[in-house]
Structure 1
Amino acid sequence: MATPGTSPAIRTSSRVGSDASYQHLLERELRALDPDLVITFGGNAWPALRRSTAPELVVDTDADPESIMSIHGTLHRISDPIDTHVLPLAHMSGQVWWRFPPDEYISRLSEALELLERQ
């Protein structure tokens, strides 16, 4: 949806600027916390992390990394800015529950956590 009074170039440069600002904060927070696991919830957090890091799959899958519904519960690893695991999860909203039965949602989460324990 267009913002009244702004050109596409201004909206794009504004987006790039905001991406850069939170990427710096995300990297700083990751370094400060140095967690064993980062969990991203939803279709905004996962792409934001992907723009700041280079998540690699822990196991091969045909899941589409662009789709949180597809990649949900698939364990990843990053090495920059820290070395840790990442677990993308779909946000537990009403939109998800009709597409993901709760048992499948929890099953994917559990399988990823079991895989993490074996790492």
Structure 2
Amino acid sequence: MPSRSQQWDDNIAAKVAEFIGTFEKQALAFNIITRKSALGEFRSEERLMIEQALLQEEKRLLLDLKAKMDVKEKASREAQLRMTAMVQAEQARAETHARAEILSRAPIRASALGLQGNSV
């Protein structure tokens, strides 16, 4: 039967061997990942950065387009309001002209002016 110090040494040696095995597995995995990364197999970070840049560019273009559409829509509304105002002004002028023409052709009666019996 081994002594206690011998058992302790054996346990430490077993733990060291276990740690060495784990380290060798991790080193092998790291080397495989590094090799694949060097070959271009793991380009997800670069792909993600490119996709983000493209997305930002698309957002900028969308905002520019939206701003242009807003300007055009505002100009269209203003033009429509001006056109409506011009049409209304033209209608008002036509009505005023028609009234003036009617008044110039028809004789005005005193009773229509509200004088009722008073001579002008």
Larger Rg: 2
Structure number with the bigger relative contact order (C-alpha 8 A, sep ≥ 6) is 1
Per residue, is there more helix in 1 or in 2? 2
TM-score (norm 2): 0.27
Per residue, is there more strand in 1 or in 2? 1
